[in-house]
Amino acid sequence: MSFEVEPVNRSSLSSQIADQLQEAILDGTLKADDRLPTEEELSKRYQVSRPTIREALKRLAAKNLVRSKRGPTGGTFVTKPSVAQLSDSLTSAATMLVSLKEVDLDEVNAARLELETTCCRLAAAERSEDQLAALTNELEHQRDDQITAEDFCASDVRFHRIIADASGNRMLSFVMYAVIEALQPVSNMISYRFRERAVIVDQHQRLLEALHNRDADTACTVLREQIEYLAARHQDAQAWRASHSR
pLDDT digits (tens, 9 = 90+) for 92-131: 777 777 777 788 878 888 888 999 999 999 999 999 999 9
Residues 61 and 132 in one domain: no
Type of residue numbered 50? R
Q: Is 58 in the same domain as 34?
A: yes
What is the structure's pLDDT at 84? 67
Task: Mark 59-87 as b/e (b = at least 16 C-beta within 10 Å).
Answer: bbeeeebbeeeeeeeebbbbbeeeeeeeb
pLDDT for position 6: 66
pLDDT for residue 228: 93
**Same domain, residue pair 90 and 164:** yes
One domain, residues 99 and 74 = no
Domain final residue pick, 34, 58, 78: 78
pLDDT score, position 215: 98
Q: Is 5 within the bounds of a domain?
A: no
Residue 162 in domain: yes
User: Phi-psi category of 169—alpha, beta or left, where left has phi over 0 and alpha has psi -120 to 50?
Assistant: beta
pLDDT of residue 2: 66
The C-alpha atoms of residue 33 and residue 238 are separated, in whole angstroms, by: 49
CATH number of the domain enclosing 54: 1.10.10.10
Question: Which of 78, 107, 129 is a domain's end point?
Answer: 78
Distances, alpha carbon 129 to alpha carbons 133, 168, 202, 208, in Å: 6, 13, 21, 12
Please say whether the beta carbons of 194 and 237 come within 8 A.
Answer: yes
Q: Report the alpha-carbon distance of residue 94 to residue 90 in Å, rounded.
A: 6
Low-confidence ranges of the chain (pLDDT < 50): none
The number of folded domains in the chain is 2
Q: What is the pLDDT of residue 184?
A: 67
**pTM listed for this prediction:** 0.73
Residue 227 maps to a domain:
yes
Output the DSSP codes for 29-97: SSPTTPBPPPHHHHHHHHT--HHHHHHHHHHHHHTTSEEEE-STT-EEEEPPP-HHHHHHHHHHHHHHH
Q: What is the model's pLDDT at position 52?
A: 94
The pair phi, psi for residue 33, each rounded to 5°, is 75, 0
The domain of 45 spans: 13-78
Q: Are 138 and 158 in contact (CB under 8 A)?
A: yes
For residue 116, with 0-12 CB atoms within 10 Å meaning exposed, 13-18 middle and 19 or more buried, which class applies?
buried
Contact status, residue 183 vs residue 84, Cβ threshold 8 Å? no
Are 126 and 164 in contact by the 8 Å Cβ rule? The answer is no
Q: Based on the domain organization, do 87 and 63 belong to the same domain? A: no
